Amino acid sequence: MNGIGTMINKLSLCALSVLAALPVGTVALAADSDMQLQQVLMLSRHNLRAPLADNGSVLEQSTKKSWPQWDVPGGQLTTKGGVLEVYMGNYTRQWLAQQGLVKNGSCPDSNNVFVYANSLQRTVATAQFFVNGAFPGCDVAVTHQDEMGTMDPIFNPVITDGSEAFNKKALAAMAAANEKLSLKPAFQRLEKIVDYKASPACNNKKQCDLSSGQNTFSAENGKEPNVSGPLKVGNSLMDAFTLQYYEGFPLDQVAWGQIKTPEQWKELSAIKNGYQDALFTSPDVSREVAAPLVDYIRSQLVDQDKANAPKVTLMVGHDSNIASLLSALQVKPYDLPDTYEKTPIGGQVVFERWHDAKNDKDLLKVEYVYQSADQLRNADVLSLKNPPKRVTLQLAGCETDANGYCSWDQFSQVLNSALQGTPMQPAAAPQPAAAAQSDDSAEAAATQDAAADKAQTDKAAAAKEKAEADKVAAEKAKADKAAADKAKADKAAADKAAAEKAKADKAAAEKEKADKADAAGKANADKAPAEAAGSDKADSTNAANAPAAANKDETKSAAAATQ
C-alpha cells in the first residue's frame, strides 16, 4: 500500500495539472427521450504499466539486445498510465452526465458510486486516477482488500476444480485452441526481431526455435491456466513491444525499430491475442475461472434492487478477467478498430441498464469502450468531441435489436447459465423421466426442485447480503480513515499552535529582557555625565575661593605688622 501512496503523491501535481487542462463537459439530454440510463457497471483493465517480464526473466533470456529502461518496476502503473486514466475518467463523467446519470459540477452521493479494484499496485492506482478524472475533489473511496500485492479472489482467474476429468478436458481445450492459431509466420518474424538464435535461451537452454517449438499447457487446481514454450515467450515479447509503443518510446527503440507497418503489428499481435484465447477463453476453462467475477456482477446488477444499488460501479482488474468473462457470457466474436489487442490497456466492458419508458421494461446494452493505439501513444485528451472508441457487444443468449439493446430478463438468465455447474451455483441433480414417476417420486422431485430454488434464493440473498456488507465495510473504513485523518490533522494543528505559542512567549520574554537591559544601560549612561558635571562644579568653586582666602590671610598679616 505504501507503494500506491508514494505513486499517488508523486503524480498528484501531474494529475492536478492534467485536470486543469481538461474540458468541462456540458449536460446534454440522451438522444432518445424514451430511453433512460439507470445503472452502469464498468469492468476495466488497468491502464499502462511496465512489462511484467522485466529484465532478468523471459525478456533478458530471449535476446542479447539491450531493453529500454522504464521509470517504474515491472508490472506497475506508469506515470503516463495515470494520465491516460485521468483522461478516461473525465470522459466517462461527461458521458454519464450526458445520459443524465450524474451531474456535472457537483460530487456524487457516496451511495451512487462504488469503485472496487484488485489489490495490486497497477489496479488500485488505475482506480484512483479514474476517480481523480471523473470526480475531481470528491470523496470517492477505492475499495480493495487490505493485503496489497495479493490477488483478490473476485479477480483471481484460478482453477478451482481439482478433478482429473476437468484437468483432461481443460488441457484438451487449450491445446485445441492453440492448434487453430496458425502463428508460424508471426513467430518467424519475432525470431528475427530479437535475434533469437543468439539469445541466452538458445545458447544455454538450447531453445532456439519459436516457430516450431512445442507448447505445454497446465490447469492445476488453485493456479491460473498456464503454458510453457514459444507461446509464453512470444506473449512476453509482444507485451513488452506493445507497451513500449503506448508509453511513447522513440520508434527506433520500440522493438529496436523492427516493427515498421500496421500489417506487421497485426501479424505479431496475433501471438499475444492467441495466448489469451488459448488459456482463458475455452468454454469450460472460462466458466471455471470467471465464476467469482460473474457471481459478483450478478450480485450487483441482478440480486440487488436497482433502487438501492449504486448507479455507477467501476471494477478494475486484468485482461484475463475480461477475456474469461466475455467467453463465459458467450459474447459473440467482436472486432475492435484501431487497436491490435482484443482486451486493450485501460479498456472497459460496460454493462448498461436502460429503462424503456414507452414499453415500461428494462434493457441491457454492453459496450467495449477503449482508447485506440494512437490515442494511447499520443496521450490524446478525451471528450465528447474526441471520444474513445465504442463497440457494441452481443451476447449469444440475449438477442439484440438494431440499437444494440437486449432484454434485461434474458441477461439475468445469461448470468445464471454462466454459473451453472460452478462452485458458485452447482448443477441441479438430474430429474427422473416423467413417465416413470410415481406420486412419491413426483413429490420427491417437487421437493428437490423447491430445495434447489430455495438454495438459489438463499445464495442470492447471501450474495446480496455480502455485497451490502462489503459496501458498509468500505464506507466504515472510509469514515474511520476520515476520522483518523481529522484527528491526526487536529493534533498536528494543536501541536503547531502550541509550538508557535511557546516560540512567541520565548520571543516576548527575550524581548522584555533585552528592553530592561537597554533601559538600564541608558540610565547608567545618563547618570555618568551628571556626576561628571557635579564634580567639575565643585572643583571650580574651590578654585575660586582659594585666592580670596589667601588675600584675607595676607591682610591679617599686614595689619599685625603695622601695629
pLDDT along the chain (563 residues), means of 10: 46 51 46 85 98 78 94 96 98 97 92 97 98 96 94 97 95 96 96 96 87 93 96 97 98 97 98 98 96 96 91 98 98 97 98 96 98 98 98 96 96 95 66 44 48 47 51 56 61 69 76 74 60 48 43 40 39
pLDDT for the residue 508: 74
AA identity, residue 561: A
Give how far Cα 1 sits from Cα of 7, 50, 472, Å: 10, 18, 21
CATH code of 2-425, in short, is 3.40.50.1240
CA dihedral 508, 510, 515, 516 (to 10 degrees): 120
Strand ranges (E), 394-529: 406-407
Task: Give the amino acid at 476.
Answer: K
Q: Where are the beta strands (DSSP E) in 374-455?
A: 389-393, 406-407
Task: Return the pLDDT at 110.
Answer: 87
Nearest to 30 by CA among 92, 96, 99: 99
Secondary structure element (H or E) that encloses residue 143, with its range = strand 142-143
* Per-residue confidence (pLDDT) for residue 57, from 0 to 100: 83
pLDDT (0 to 100) of residue 459: 46
Measure the CA–CA gap between 295 and 285, rounded to whole angstroms: 16
CB 474 within 8 A of CB 307: no
The pLDDT score that the predictor gives to residue 104 is 87
DSSP reduced 3-state for 516: helix
Cell of 291: 465464476
* Residue count (the chain): 563
Please state the domain extents for the chain. 2-425, 475-563
Q: Tell me what pLDDT residue 472 has.
A: 54
Residue with the three cell numbers 459496501: 471
Beta strand segments in 295-403, E: 312-317, 348-356, 361-370, 389-393
What span, in angstroms and rounded, lies between the C-alpha atoms of 82 and 150?
Answer: 21
CA–CA distance, 285 with 220 (Å, rounded to integer): 11
Q: Given this model, what pLDDT does residue 429 score?
A: 46
Its sign, for the CA torsion 410, 414, 419, 421, is positive
Q: What residues are labeled active site?
A: 46, 319
Residue 140 pLDDT: 96
**How many C-beta neighbours within 10 Å does residue 100 have?**
14
CA 322/CA 310 separation, integer angstroms: 21
How many angstroms separate the CA atoms of 549 and 557, rounded? Answer: 12
Packing angle, helices 164-179 and 283-298, rounded to 10: 110
